[in-house]
Chains A and B, each alone.
Chain A
Amino acid sequence: MALKQPQNSLLGSESDSQRTLYPYVTGTSVVALKYKDGILMAADMGGSYGSTLRYKSLERMKPISKHSLLGASGEISDFQEILRYLDELILYDNMWDDGNSLGPKEVHNYLTRVMYNRRNKFNPLWNSLVLGGVKNGNKYLGTVSMIGVNFEDNHVATGFGNHLARPILRQEWHENLSFEDGVKLLEKCMRVLLYRDRSAVNKLQIGKITEEGVTIHRPYSLKTYWEFSTFENPAQGAIGS
């Protein structure tokens, strides 16, 4: 059965390996930070199809079991598949019926393994993930990329968020932020992303996870500033105006 195909490249021929070559429907940045009671996470609800903003009501944050919240950017179909993997993981965990449940650190580790092993097979899940949660009073916030790079920090972001949001967070984040201050800080980040990320959409959700559980708030829009002097009297000085 094993007819060896002529190898024109070191990586083998295209036909005999399955690999994800490029994403189709993608979500943009996710931003998250630790605050006094737990984790706050924000993501907009846009799903881009190349350069067109095709879907405007995609939920890119989902609760995982009692203790975790997962946010994703990148290919949405791969995110949906990851949710199925996690469903199975949590199901088996619950079936032990031993009173234990997987915490955010464990879920983050599982995701890291999944992402890294897919990367090794040249068939990545095209996502950048943010996993936040609280268990037994311990706050946890981590991230995994599509090539398996993973770390935890007090604040994380994916995609454009790394360039635009994290510098803001480095300046203004501090321990024991209140809920209101945390949301304000996230909104500041999301506003910059809205201004400067072409694939951002002004419809976002804030997810909150505390010891009590997960709440994903209903979608809302940010106010933006456009009162620039250049826009006043645009026809002034124009010939024939």
Chain B
Amino acid sequence: MDLEMNLNAPHSMGTTIIGVTYNGGVVLGADSRTSTGMYVANRASDKITQLTDNVYVCRSGSAADSQIVSDYVRYFLHQHTIQLGQSATSKVAANLIRLLSYNNKNMLETGLIVGGWDKYEGGKIYAIPLGGTLIEQPFAIGGSGSSYLYGFFDQAWKEGMTKEEAEVRFVL
């Protein structure tokens, strides 16, 4: 039996993350496992990270990369909010994430889902996979665990759900 747990492997998240829009906003969900090779380094991780009062991001891929990108974007958004004089929009947050992901594509390994609510566009979900493509979607799934969910979402998703439907059926 192979007991070699490769504890020096980069902390990868082995994740499932979900973002779903509904008729009043967005619901975000994520699991809580961070693994280093076969070992579970943290079983209580928080993969949904706050960027501003009204915008959050779900992180997947390399824990370090996703944390540092979130930290930079939170910092930029903070300054942007001061300059703008009102809350940042989820589109701006998503584009900042995209800028970092795209311009550092050779070095980063992180897939992110930005979800937020602003007064101009309501609830929005933006997926930013590896490479730095930005794609706005009514729902998004990511992380290595998301492979199992494509079929379910393709079949069961519909627009204009209530919060309970979105939470209970899809995220929980």
Interface residues of A (CB under 8 A from B): 18-21, 23-25, 47, 49, 52, 54-55, 57-58, 75-77, 80-81
Contacts and interface: CB of A to CB of B under 8 A. Distances in A.
17 contacts: A18-B106, A20-B105, A23-B131, A24-B105, A24-B129, A24-B130, A24-B133, A25-B130, A25-B133, A58-B135, A75-B133, A76-B131, A77-B98, A77-B132, A77-B133, A80-B102, A80-B134
B129 A21 contact: no
Interface residues of B, number: 15
A25 B137 CA distance: 15
A24 B131 contact: yes
Contacts of B137: 55, 57
A25 B106 contact: no
A80 B106 contact: no
A77 B105 contact: yes
A13 to B, nearest CB: 13
A25 B102 contact: no
Given A21-B106, A81-B102, 13 more contacts: A19-B106, A23-B131, A24-B105, A24-B129, A24-B130, A47-B133, A75-B131, A75-B133, A76-B131, A77-B98, A77-B101, A77-B134, A80-B102
Interface in B115-141: 129-135, 137
Contact of B129 (A19, A49, A80): A49
Looking at B106, B129, B133, B135, the one whose CB has the most chain A CB atoms below 10 A away is: B133
A25 B129 contact: yes
A77 B133 CA distance: 4
Nearest to B102: A77
A77 B131 CA distance: 6
Nearest to A53: B150
Contacts of A52: 147, 150
Given A55-B135, A58-B135, A20 B130 contact: no
Contacts of A81: 102
A93 B130 CA distance: 33
Give the 5 A-B CB pairs with smallest separation, nearest first.
A24-B131, A77-B133, A77-B132, A76-B133, A77-B131
Counting chain B CB atoms within 10 Å of each CB, which of A18, A77, A80, A81 scores highest? Answer: A77
Contacts of B106: 18-21
Contacts of A75: 131, 133
A76 B98 CA distance: 12
Contacts of A20: 105-106
Contacts of B150: 52
B154 to A, nearest CB: 9
Contacts of B132: 77
Contacts of A19: 106
Interface string B70-114: 000000000000000000000000000010011001100000000
Contact of B133 (A18, A21, A57, A80): A80
Contacts of A57: 137
